[in-house]
Structure formats: C-alpha cells, structure tokens
Structure 1
Amino acid sequence: MKNVANCPKCGALFVKALRPLCNACYKEQEENYDKVSRFMRRKQNRMASIREVHEKTEVPLEQIHQFVKEGRILVTHFPNMGYPCESCGALIQEGRICESCKGNITGGLEQIQKEKEFKERVAENLKAEESAQNKTYHSLDDRFDK
C-alpha cells in the first residue's frame, strides 16, 4: 500500500495516483483556478495585482502564487502577477529567487572562492620558504664560524 497517503491540505486518507491531493481538495483547487481564470480573462482585470485578485475572488494568495509558479496563469499576459522570492519575499515572475538575492548569493560564493585561493597561495608561499630554508647547509665545525 505504498500509494496510500494523507492529503497535505485536509489530512484525509487517499490513494496517491496522479496528484498529491485528495479528490475533494483537488476539486476545490480547480474551482479556485476557474474563479481566478474567469476574473483575469475580463479585459478590465488584466492589470490587476495578486492582492486585488485575492480580494475579488477570495482565493488564498498561496494558491494564486502556485498557479503562477505552475504556469497555469501566464505572466506574459498578466504582467502584475507573480509570486514571492523564496529568500526575501519580493514579487518575481520566474525562478525561485529574485535577481538581487541571486547577486548576493553569487557575490558571497565568489568571495569564498577568492578567500580559498588566497589561503592556497599563502600555503604555497610558506612551503616554498620552508623548502628554501631546508636547502641551506650549516657547518657544525667551529673552524668556519670565525
């Protein structure tokens, strides 16, 4: 019975076949999508923001975000639609994080890489100095120290 699961939304037991929700929650989700889709198809609503869509349709914001993420609501047709960045919460239309957070992450990674390369160069210089010191010969005979 590996196909039996609890619905993540309502907790009901169901057979997990094609979708991760039970039939009742799936039907509710599809009804919510129809509400949003009908609202957005009207010409005067095409420039509506997510908050306006949420207020007029009473569909939860998270579900509207999910519709945009899944590509069911196309941001090319509705430019004010989007979902929050997973890092800072800014409204984005593709990917998981905004450009600003991407820049912060790549900048941090570049800084770490530079620090690593610097440490490696310092270690190589220390090795070179040690090997140069090891090549110097010292006499133990007192005759040559005078």
Structure 2
Amino acid sequence: MDRCSNYLWKHPSTHTRQLSDVTGTPIELLTDWVRAGKFPSIYSQLDYPCESCRSPIYAGRLCHSCLGTFRSAALDIQTRVPRRATAGLFSVAGRVKGY
C-alpha cells in the first residue's frame, strides 16, 4: 500500500490499471483498496468494477446503467406484488381480502 501511495503522491492522475502495472500490485488487491476507500478522494482516476456488469465506476457498487435497471425491476416487482392494506388483509386488484 505504501508503494502505491508514494506513486500516487507523485502522479495523482494515475488510473488503477496504470498503478497496478507500475507498482506490481495485483489489480484485484488495488480495486479492493479503492472500493474500501483506502486512498483519498483527490485521486479521482482510481476506479473499480461495477458489481453487476464490471464496467469501471468511481463510487458506489453499481454503474448508473445497472442501477437504473435494478430500480426499474424493483418498481416492476412492487407493482405486481399485492400490498397489505391493514394487518391480516391485503389488496388484490383493488379488492381487500383476508387470510
């Protein structure tokens, strides 16, 4: 980690892959460090893969595209699952039923 930090101090616009190549640090270890926030945010070119599609991202767990896909799927599921109106009752097609 010290070798990477020292290199970044001198070359702050280095990308993750470049840092791996120059320092000999495995890319998997570097991406874990970047994801965990081990480097200050001033090193804005350090990226890691989206957990869904593996495209490079700089914050969070998902890229904007995958995040939109998951949100759409969640909204679709939410509209299809019956909602509970009150305790012991739920609504199906606008009709309240008990169970």
The answer, yes or no, to whether TM exceeds 0.5 is yes
What does 1:1-146 correspond to in 2, within 5 Å?
33-42=1-10, 45-74=11-40, 76-116=41-81, 120-121=92-93, 124=95
Match of 1:88, SS state, is coil
Q: Identity across aligned pairs (percent)?
A: 27
Q: Which has the higher contact order (CA 8 A, sep 6+)?
A: 2
Offset from partner CA, 1:4-57 (integer Å, 9 cap, x none): xxxxxxxxxxxxxxxxxxxxxxxxxxxxx0111111000xx2111111111111
Q: What is the alpha-carbon distance in structure 1 between the residues aligned to residue 32 and residue 75 of structure 2?
A: 32
CA RMSD for the aligned pairs?
2.1
Indicate the SS of the match to 1:66: helix
Alpha-carbon separation, structure 1, partners of 2:29 and 2:92? 49
Q: How many Å separate the matches in 1 of 2:16 and 2:74? A: 33
For 2:33, the aligned partner's letter is F
- Counterpart residue identity of residue 106, structure 1: R
Aligned residue-pair number: 89
Separation of aligned partners in 2, 1:95 and 1:82: 11
| Unaligned runs of at least 5 residues, structure 2 | 83-90
Point out the structure with max Rg over C-alpha. 1
Tell me which amino acid in the other structure corresponds to 1:48: T
Question: With structure 2 as the length reference, what TM-score do the two structures score?
Answer: 0.77
Q: Counterpart of 2:39 in 1: which secondary structure?
A: coil
3-state SS of paired residue (1:47): coil
Per the TM alignment, residue 88 of structure 1 is displaced from its structure 2 partner at its CA by 0.7
1:99 shift after superposition: 2.1
- Which protein is richer in helix relative to its size? 1
- Write out per-residue CA displacement over residues 33-87 of structure 1, whole angstroms, 9 at most, x where no aligned residue: 0111111000xx211111111111110001111111222112x211110211111
**TM-score normalised over the length of structure 1:** 0.54
